[in-house]
Amino acid sequence: MLGQLPYLHRTGYRMVTQETNRFIHYKVTRRTGISKPSSKRGRGKLLTKDTKRDIMIAMTTKMCSRCREEKKASEFSKDKSKKSGLYARCKVCDRADGRQYYLKHRNKKLRKFKKYSQSESGKRVRNRNSKKYYAKHRDEYRARSQLNYAISTGRTEKGPCVTCGDVSSHGHHEDYSKPLEVIWLCRRCHTELHNVKRQAYLKQKEQHGE
């Protein structure tokens, strides 16, 4: 058994063995995972099950460089350029920084995006992405098309937003196989509903360790 859990070093993980009370250095690589000890004292020794388990425990958590909180590795984005394979900031801090940067440079980014979208390269990229999105969400497109046709022909009437009562609303499909069964929501309430569903999906995905 080991004397203590390993701690992160510049090139891997170090720990103190109970038998010799000396440091043994283990390399952690992205391709092969945990390798044999790299120091001369530990060279040639195979990793025991307890050693590998303790190293994996240490690899499951990481401290965020922004909020300075110890969080699970799943709460960090992947970054192949880092030795740990994870981004320095957690996803929450990274999103907050990205939002703050966007608001600060919003006008500049919009001008740049508009200029690129009007170029030939931008049009090709937009058309290619539109085709990919349509192929992936074919049922969604069909349901929206049938709903719009039913509204234009008078078969279906628009209703006010069921949440706030705004008359400027559009239909939200719970089931795309039933195109005329919709919940009328304004743009703001519709966005909030999808955000809640997305957060629930990400939380469920994190719990399953995906």
For residue 176, being part of any structural domain is answered with yes
Which pLDDT score is estimated for 204?
81
Contacts of 145 (CB under 8 A, 6+ apart): none
Give residue 48's pLDDT band: very low, low, confident or very high (50, 70, 90).
low
**Which one of 59, 77, 99 terminates a domain?**
59
- Please compute the mean of the pLDDT values over residues 31-45 and round it to a whole number: 45
pTM, 2 dp: 0.47
Number of domains into which the chain is organized = 2
Element (H, E) at 50: helix 49-59
* Span of 1-5, 85-89, 120-124 with lowest mean pLDDT: 1-5
Tell whether the model's pLDDT for residue 37 goes beyond 60: no
Residue 40 lies in a domain: yes
**17 secondary structure, DSSP code:** B
Residue 197 pLDDT > 50, yes or no? yes
**175-191: pLDDT as tens digits:** 989 999 999 999 999 99
Which residues make Cβ contacts (< 8 Å) with residue 208, sequence separation at least 6?
none
Is residue 151 assigned to a domain? Answer: no
Task: For residue 6, give its domain range.
Answer: 1-59
